[in-house]
Amino acid sequence: MRPVVTLVVAGAALTAAAFGAYSGHIVFTSTRDGKTEVYMVEPDGANPQRLTNNKNDDEQPALSPDGKMVAFVSNRDGNYEIYALTLGGMKVQRITATAYPEADPSFSADGKWIIYTSQAEGDRDIWRYNLASGKAEKYLAGDGDQYLAREAADGTLAYVQDMGGDEEIMIRESGKQPRPLSPSPNIDTMPSFSPDGATIYFVSNRKGDYDVYAVNRDGSGLKAVVSTPDLEGKPAPAADGAYLCVPSDADGDLDLYIYAVDGEKLGQLTSNTGYDDYEPFWGP
């Protein structure tokens, strides 16, 4: 298999030591083979692996908290469903099997559930699947669409709600009613918690194009973290909380870049022409 990533900073390879003690793995979606497939790489560009390989589309990967499983979306059986790939043995398990599309998988903080979006009841709601029992249940529903949920260690959910064309990030804390995180008349989407759950990173077009923002869980301290004239996509925080992996079309197509959480660009993780790398998830 040919190398799939190159990490370059000022013309020189950036080593894992430059990121401190934490390295971990980044899973992402790529169109480099003519359709969407799931890949994995270390954040210094080492040990690239293609994780899926079939004639249909595989996308939206998320690593489990122990780094042993990747949840993803595939239409390999004719409908978009959630699948889970066990690393090592590379065993694929189909998680959902409905007549309706499922999307947006992520793992609960304890690794016992896969949280996902389903249209089983018409509009989009948030469901979860118990990996031990094999049973699915509705996790959150309301008026309109709820989707792209992520869970913090204390069980708090961040998710997107479509308010009739105004997409807002909502927060649901234990025992409390959901509330908007940082309301605006623009589109706010793709939330991700920092490892300690105190900060939420998300994508918004509130300045015209799509940039990456950070805000405290209580809605205070909003700031643009990665704001360029280019299109930025879903931010993936590292497990040590110090770095972000961010897709950008700065060189014409979507590639992955490494940033410090203060917005300093540290390097370009993927650099290829004619296809897109996006939907990163940075795990252990």
Lookup: tokens for 167: 């997409």
pLDDT of residue 18: 52
Q: How far is the C-alpha of 47 from the C-alpha of 211, rounded, in Å?
A: 29
Which residue from 68, 4, 66 is spatially nearest to 38, judged by alpha carbons? 4
Statement: residue 15 has pLDDT above 50: no
Query: In the predicted model, what is the mean pLDDT of residues 155-183?
Result: 92
pLDDT of residue 90: 86
CB 43 within 8 A of CB 56: no
Q: What residues does each domain of the chain span?
A: 8-283
Task: Please tell me whether residue 16 adopts helix, strand or coil conformation.
Answer: helix
Statement: residue 36 has pLDDT above 70: yes
What average pLDDT is seen over the chain? 90
Q: What is the CA radius of gyration of the chain?
A: 18
Q: What pTM does this model have?
A: 0.92
Task: Please tell me whether residue 98 adopts helix, strand or coil conformation.
Answer: coil
More confident residue, 45 or 112: 112
pLDDT of residue 33: 87
pLDDT of residue 273: 85
CB 146 within 8 A of CB 115: no
Name residues whose C-beta falls within 8 Å of residue 193's C-beta, 6 or more positions apart in sequence.
150, 151, 152, 156, 158, 199, 200, 201, 237
CB 228 within 8 A of CB 259: no
Query: In the predicted model, what is the mean pLDDT of residues 165-183?
Result: 93
pLDDT band for position 144 (50/70/90)? confident
Displacement of CA 199 from its chain's centroid (Å): 15
CB 202 within 8 A of CB 213: yes
| Superfamily of the domain at 8-283 | TolB, C-terminal domain (2.120.10.30)
Lookup: tokens for 198: 């105190």
